[in-house]
Structure 1
Amino acid sequence: MDALSEPPQPKSKKFLSGNFNKYLFEFSLLFLAVFLGFFADSMREENAEKQLAYELAKSFYEELKNDSITVMSKIEGRIKKEKAIDYMVTFLKDSSLHTSSKSLAINFLWATTARTPIIFTPRTVIFQQLKSSGSLRYFKNQRLQQLVGDLSVSIEYILERQELEAAVYKLYIEPIMIDHMDFDFQGKLFDTGIFDRLASYESSDEYIPFHLSQPEKINREAYINALRYYHTNNIKSTRMIPFEAYVKVNAELLKELRHEFQLTY
């Protein structure tokens, strides 16, 4: 009788242990490769975000810096307009309406006509991009985010106030200009330019005759009240509140951007 064949012997523990270690090693290598891949992608994304944040901050900084210069020139324009209105109020109180002088001409122009030198229109290309595209999230600094919000509020306030000024000007001041401007004088003065020409005329010895038109129709008290209202409740208050608020937040933003992104003046 043939001997019964022996059943297959189970693999040794040493063999199983060796295979397990091999699989574990291969799995570890695969896991490490995947992890390093994710880590590298994360690092690339983080570096890309940092670079984008830097570029946005740099452009935003230049935008704010330019506006910081512009707003100061507009503040100077407002102060000059306020002084011109003060001059006209004093003149209307008791001066002869038939007087002709260079000072009267210049101050009448500034009080009743000049508006471009006082209107501030902030550059908001980068600012709007930060808001609309969600790029503000690249600014991790909470103080920066807060200041950007403050900037938005101050700009909206300025634009709102300037709309009010425009309405008051059209209703009360423009009629004074239309009724009493010496348009012969204006035509001769502005034959080669507007505000640059006015500035050169002010600082020169040149004299162009100026007379108030229709002086018999001037209502002194009504015009004084209109000019004072325009002066204090509009031009001056806008300068002292929203303009000054903008100047402050602009300066703080520039400082924070320099600190956060190592930007130079």
Structure 2
Amino acid sequence: MEQNQNTNEQSQPQALSTDVKSNPDKTIPEAPTTTPDVTEGTPATPQPETQNAKPETDSMEVHKHPHHVTHPKKWTEYLLEFFMLFLAVFLGFVAENVREQIAEEARAKHYAKSLYRDMIEDSIKLTDAINISRDIALKSDTLRNLCRGKEIKDVPGGALYYYSRYTFRHWGFQSTNATLEQLKNSGSLRFFENYELEDAIGAYDKSARWVVSTIQIDFDNVNLGTPYRFQLFDANILDSILSYSASRNFINAFITHQQTLVTYDKQKWTEFLNYTATRSEGLKGLIAVGYLPALENARKVIALLKKQYQLDKE
């Protein structure tokens, strides 16, 4: 029986082969891919299941941005970009100018305060120089009036000592020009942005320089009178009246007292009196042409600085 079964199983492929030869157009059925049934009693071997997991997120759509590199721009977009770039550059330029303007205004205010103080100090110096120079010239004129038409021995010696002492005095002037020189050398006068003020500063600088140079002439004149100091007057007596601390009562008593002179020689006294006249006229010219114009220019600068920078409110 088993032999017949085996004979039948072996004959099946041959019949199939014969069938294919007789009918070549007939499709050969595919062998089943499923796993054959497991015989009873044999445990099934578990097979891993392969699952194609479907993604939970939907596929993302790609959208082109309006400003994508592949997006063709309209002329209005180019115009807008140009305008924004121009505006950024312009605002930066304006901001820089504003910052620079604020810095220059601060520097101008600093220079104005410093120059204002210098002008105040110079105006005080000039006022003192004017008053003292006038006093020297006045005392020199008084001395000549006392001696006019008289013999020297007929004039109280104390008066000759007192009025002659002014002839040997000299009052200088030195401008406080540190700020002004700094403004000139650095070109910072432009910070004031006021042509009237700049002109006033220039005028003062010129007049102050003239005064300083001319004062040297007066100092030389004082040196020319030094020999008369020793030829005509007793140094001890002259020194006692030269002191600024001498009281008014002492001076009044001294003037009326007959003090002794070194010499009463008319020629020497005439030369000395001529010298005092020259000195007096020189001082009057220095006051009129030098001190007063310089003081006027200094006061003008002070007024302009005070007005422009409200310095009187600080």
How far, CA to CA, are the matches of 2:136 and 2:290 in structure 1?
17
Matches within 5 A, 1:158-173: 158-171=211-224, 173=225
Match of 1:228 in 2: 277
Amino acid at match of 1:223: F
CA displacement, residues 166-214 of structure 1 (integer Å, 9 cap, x when unaligned): 223323x222123223211245567xxxxxx41x314243767853323
Measured after TM superposition, the shift of residue 102 of structure 1 is: 4.4
Distance 2:120 2:99 in 1: 31
Pick closer, same or farther for the CA change 1:104–1:229 going to 2, 3 Å.
same
What residue identity is the alignment partner of 1:140? Answer: E
**Greater share of residues in helix:** 1
Partner residue in 1 for 2:161: 105
TM-score (ref. length: structure 1): 0.79
Tell me the residue number matched to 2:228.
176
1:133 to 167, 182, 186: 186
Deviation, structure 1 residue 252 = 1.4
Equivalent-residue separation in structure 2 for 1:78 and 1:236 (angstroms): 8
Over 3 Å counting, the alpha-carbon distance change for 1:175 and 1:202 in structure 2 is farther
Give CA-to-partner distance per residue, 1:101-129, whole Å, 9 cap, x none.
Answer: 54433322112x2113xx22221111111
Q: Report the number of matched residues.
A: 239
C-alpha displacement of 1:218: 5.3
Q: Which has the larger radius of gyration?
A: 2
Cα 1:178–1:125 shift into 2, 3 Å: farther
How far apart, in 2, do the equivalents of 1:212 and 1:202 lie?
23
Question: Any idea what SS the aligned residue of 2:72 has?
Answer: helix
Aligned to 2:306: 258
What whole-Å deviation, never above 9, does each CA across 1:208-233 have from its counterpart, x for those lacking one? 7853323337523322222112211x
User: Do the aligned residues in 1 keep the contact of 2:162 with 2:241 (CA within 8 Å)?
Assistant: no
Q: Secondary structure at the match of 1:121?
A: coil
Q: Secondary structure at the match of 1:17?
A: coil
Residues 96, 130 of structure 1: CA spacing in aligned structure 2 closer, same or farther, 3 A cutoff? same
Structure 1 gaps of 5+ residues are 1-14, 191-196
Correspondent of 2:201 among 148, 155, 158: 148
Report the TM-score, using the length of structure 2 for normalisation.
0.68
Structure with the larger RCO, 1 or 2 (CA within 8 Å, 6+ apart): 1
Identity %: 23
What's the Cα RMSD here?
2.7
In structure 2, stretches of 5+ residues that fail to align are 1-70
Change (3 A) 1:241 1:89: same
